[in-house]
């Protein structure tokens, strides 16, 4: 495991959990993965790492959260929505820990219109406050959503993934309804402020609706020009916040969208490539092969 990044596979190896997970082929790159775990198994100090997956915790129990440069003592029920790129750890005060944790990767929500909406909000973002404290009514609702996801994840119901996504979407909507303490733009450090503007601009371009409206901004220089900053300044700010290059983030977003278009539209390969900004089909083929280790046509035919 990298000292800076914990993968889903690292997580299971570290926790030695052998729990049922909804996964196409365990931890294979590009495959959908979801799991939900009762927090009674979490009475240990977890490592301080970034993650390559999303995680939501319904915390009932006392402990100290170390999140980025911040430290917070938690002594009442709360939801925790950490950004995957912010290092964090939870240190239990005692062995009384209840609630749930669920983790999932980007692919679990690919093609889901609601999750495209959530990606345009402050949830899981580096600049948002990750804790939402709950009143009695909200505790009941949150517990119901998690119990339903847990029940579905252990069932043989053929549409269990849809049911889980529906409950997870309801949980995220509840969080957004109660998010009243988001950090304002002026409160953020300059590098995070610029990254926030870049992230919002990037996500506003997706999903792509028609080949008649191809992707407008697809290089760091495009975004820098739109934000009226030098491209080197944008690149350094993005890298300092995410530990990824601007190009990596843009390409990953384009690759994610290309898979969605191949799965959920009847556009031909050339149309998809053109909509993503590739003037030649061969350029799109090379881009897709580099990320998926297979051609767009083979990927589409295998769906």
pLDDT digits (tens, 9 = 90+) for 88-99: 888 888 888 999
Residue 36, helix vs strand vs coil = strand
Predicted confidence at residue 189, as pLDDT, reads: 86
Q: Phi, psi at residue 119, to the nearest 5°?
A: -65, -15
CB count, 10 Å around CB of 62?
14
DSSP designation for 121? S
- What's the whole-number mean pLDDT along residues 270-299? 94
Give the pLDDT score at 224: 97
Average pLDDT value for the chain: 87
Q: In the chain, where are the structural domains located? A: 5-177, 185-302
Instruction: Write down the pLDDT at residue 186.
Output: 67
Q: What angle do CA 276, 222, 187 make, to 5 degrees?
A: 115
Q: Which residue has the higher pLDDT, 4 or 72?
A: 72
- Tokens standing for 23? 């996964």
Percent of the chain exceeding pLDDT 70 equals 89
Give the pLDDT band of residue 43 (cuts 50, 70, 90): low
Band of pLDDT at residue 1, cut at 50, 70 and 90: very low
Residues in Cβ contact with 197 at an 8 Å cutoff, skipping those fewer than 6 apart: 227
DSSP states of 172-214? HHHHHHT---PPPGGGS-HHHHHHHHHHHHHHHT-S---TTS-
What's the average model confidence in pLDDT over 215-234? 96
Average pLDDT on 61-74 reads 90
Burial status of residue 197 (CB atoms within 10 A of its CB: 0-12, 13-18, 19 or more): middle
pLDDT of residue 125: 87
Mean pLDDT of 58-68: 92
Helix or strand or coil: residue 294? coil
- CATH pick for 5-177 out of 2.60.120, 3.30.310, 3.40.1800, 2.40.50: 2.60.120
- Region 201-219: mean pLDDT is 92
Position 8 pLDDT exceeds 50: yes
185-302: in CATH 1.10.10.60:
yes
pLDDT digit string, tens, across residues 126-144:
888 899 999 999 999 999 9
What lies within 8 Å, CB to CB, of 33 at 6+ separation is: 8, 21, 22, 23, 24, 26, 27, 53, 103, 104, 105, 107, 108
What gap in Å lies between CA 244 and CA 176, rounded to an integer? 27
Lowest mean per-residue pLDDT among 22-31, 63-72, 173-182, 248-257: 22-31
Residue 84 in contact with residue 52, Cβ under 8 Å? yes
**Three-state secondary structure string covering 125-162:** CCCCCCEEECCHHHHHHHHHHHHHHHHHHCCCCCCHHH
Give the pLDDT confidence of 153-198 residue by residue, as tens digits.
999 999 999 999 999 999 999 998 886 555 566 677 899 899 999 9
CA pair distance 124, 201, nearest whole angstrom? 16
Lowest mean pLDDT among 70-84, 110-124, 226-240: 110-124
Identify the pLDDT of residue 76: 95
| Count of alpha carbons within 13 angstroms of residue 28, beta-carbon side | 9
Tokens of 244: 């990824």
Per-residue pLDDT for 3 more than 50?
A: no
164 contacts 149 by C-beta, under 8 angstroms: yes
Higher-confidence residue of 112 and 8: namely: 8
- Contact yes or no for 100/156 (Cβ under 8 A): no
Question: Which run of H or E residues covers position 258?
Answer: helix 246-264
Residue 146: HSE in the Cβ half-sphere, 13 Å Cα cutoff: 23
**Domain 5-177 shares a fold with domain 185-302:** no
């Amino acid at each position: 495991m990298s000292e800076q990044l914990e993968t889903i596979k690292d997580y299971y190896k570290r926790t030695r959990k052998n729990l049922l997970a909804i996964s196409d082929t365990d931890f294979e790159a590009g495959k959908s993965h979801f799991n939900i775990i009762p927090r009674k198994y979490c009475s240990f100090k977890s490592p301080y790492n970034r993650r390559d997956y999303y995680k939501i915790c319904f915390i009932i129990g006392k402990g100290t959260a170390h999140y980025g440069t911040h430290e917070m003592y938690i002594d009442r029920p709360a939801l925790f929505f950490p950004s995957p790129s912010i290092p964090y750890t939870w240190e239990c005060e005692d062995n009384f820990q209840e609630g749930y944790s669920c983790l999932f990767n980007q692919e679990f929500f690919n093609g889901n219109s609601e999750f495209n909406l959530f990606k345009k909000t402050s949830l899981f973002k580096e600049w948002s406050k990750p804790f939402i404290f709950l009143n009695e009514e909200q505790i009941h609702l949150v517990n119901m959503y998690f119990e339903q996801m847990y029940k579905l994840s252990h069932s043989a119901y053929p549409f269990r993934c849809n049911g889980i996504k529906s409950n997870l979407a309801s949980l995220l909507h509840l969080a957004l309804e109660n998010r009243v303490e988001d950090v304002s733009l002026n409160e953020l450090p300059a590098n995070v402020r610029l990254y926030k503007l870049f992230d919002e601009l990037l996500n506003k371009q997706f999903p792509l609706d028609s080949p008649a409206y191809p992707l407008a901004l697809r290089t760091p220089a495009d975004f820098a020009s739109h934000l009226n900053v030098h491209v080197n300044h944008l690149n350094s700010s993005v890298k300092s916040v995410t530990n990824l290059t601007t190009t990596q983030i843009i390409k990953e977003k384009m690759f994610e969208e290309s898979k969605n278009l191949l799965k959920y539209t009847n556009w031909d390969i050339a149309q998809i490539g053109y909509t993503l900004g590739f003037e030649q089909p061969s350029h799109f083929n090379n881009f897709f092969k580099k990320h998926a280790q297979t051609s767009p046509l083979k990927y589409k035919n295998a769906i």
